[in-house]
């Protein structure tokens, strides 16, 4: 079991690293410093969010930092909303389970 978890974490780290590299590559292609990617990666935090940002850079090809920052903030907001939804669903499931228990 431990090996499986370690393998899963390695896959997650590998995916996260690849997404970050792609984000930096997209920034470089647009003429921005790759160090900006480190800032985006830190703020975005998840592989999905980083990938979404890289996709935005690739398709929209923004030419200014303000547009990129706005998109990053929108992605972070969506991510936070999704996290809150999942927490709420989990709490509701536990409450429903407690209410339906036959004591």
- pLDDT of 80 over the 90 cut: yes
- pLDDT of 12 over the 80 cut: no
Cα separation of 103 and 98, whole Å? 10
Of 39 and 2, more confident: 39
Contacts of 63 (CB under 8 A, 6+ apart): 30
pLDDT confidence of residue 13: 79
CA distances to 55, 82, 98, 102 from 91, rounded to whole Å, are 33, 14, 11, 19
Cα separation of 79 and 74, whole Å? 9
- pLDDT of 4 over the 60 cut: no
- pLDDT of 6 over the 80 cut: no
Helix residue spans in 30-64 (DSSP H): 35-44, 47-60
């Amino acid at each position: 079991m431990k090996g499986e978890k370690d393998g899963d974490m390695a896959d997650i780290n590998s995916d996260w690293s690849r997404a970050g590299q792609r984000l930096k590559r997209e920034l470089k292609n647009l003429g921005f410093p790759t160090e900006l990617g480190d800032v985006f990666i830190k703020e975005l935090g998840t592989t999905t969010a980083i990938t979404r940002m890289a996709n935005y850079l690739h398709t929209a090809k923004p030419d200014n930092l303000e547009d990129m920052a706005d998109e990053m903030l929108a992605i972070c907001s969506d991510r936070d909303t999704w996290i809150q939804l999942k927490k709420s669903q989990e709490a509701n499931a536990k409450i429903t389970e407690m209410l339906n228990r036959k004591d």
